[in-house]
Amino acid sequence: MRKFFIFTIIFSLIFLLSFAYFVKIPSHNANHYPLATQMYDGSANIVSAIYLNFRLYDTLFELLIFSVAVSGVIFYSKRIRESGEIVPDKSFLVRLELFIFGIAGIVWGGYTALTGHLQAGGAFSGGAIGASGVVVLTLALGSAKVHTLAEKMKLEFLENLVIFVMLIYVIFGNIHGGFFSPGFCVGKVGNFFSGRGALLLNSSIGFKVFVGAWIIFYEFSKRKESI
């Protein structure tokens, strides 16, 4: 079985390299992106237009890879003995400062994700900033309380729905020639409601990164003395 697995990997690698060598791939000129963004997307941030519109399939697979990573952490963490939760700091002043910074991080992460089509930022960076805010908030409240709050809000369940939202968006986008619905219009460059489905996609992807990063941190924190 092991030899067959190794042979399959080597054969697949040789096949893909041969494919890339013999198949002629048309040259791609990136200079058309600014004009295409203005005409077909409407985002002020060209990077956002690329990963949410022109290269949306790449973003979808990156999201799947992230989901696999989170699932892998959860699966293998169950094999390691738990060593306790993170307890809040004893100082009220320190807890208050951490709470304020944590909330500020979550709010800033949401703002970064929702305005990613207008300026530097986007789903992945916004989700990471928000997750950092939750980590700081955990130091103020304790991991058990934050995890209980996350379970009550069904965050893990909602996070798993993001993949289906992406798939539905892609399917309907192809059916309607790139238009998901009349509500997802190009809009005027620089306006908040522009960038096709940027608001939906950035908020959905950012939320998944936000919750997924928190799950990874929480699973590691419970086994901090065992690893």
Do 77 and 223 touch, CB atoms closer than 8 A? Answer: yes
| pLDDT the model gives residue 182 | 43
Does some domain include residue 12?
no
Query: How many domains are there within the chain?
Result: 1
Q: Judge whether 47 and 34 are in contact, CB under 8 Å.
A: no
| Closest to 129 measured CA to CA, from 142, 116, 118, 140 | 116
What pLDDT does residue 181 have? 46
In a domain, 210, yes or no: yes
Residue 10 in any domain: the answer is no
Average pLDDT over residues 160-187: 69
pLDDT by residue (tens digit) across 99-158?
Answer: 999 999 999 999 999 998 888 888 899 999 999 999 898 888 888 888 888 778 787 778
Which pLDDT score is estimated for 128? 92
| pLDDT given at position 23 | 63
Q: Is residue 28 part of a domain?
A: no
Residue 4 lies in a domain: no
The parent domain of residue 78 ranges over 44-221
Within a domain: 29: no
Please state, as a whole number, how many other Cβ atoms lie within 10 Å of the Cβ of residue 19: 10
CB atoms < 10 A from the CB of 226, how many?
A: 11
Residue found by looking up tokens 């697979």 in the block: 61
- The residue among 62, 70, 52 whose CA lies nearest residue 114 is 52
In a domain, 129, yes or no: yes
pTM for the structure as a whole: 0.76
**Most confident of the ranges 151-155, 186-190, 216-220:** 216-220
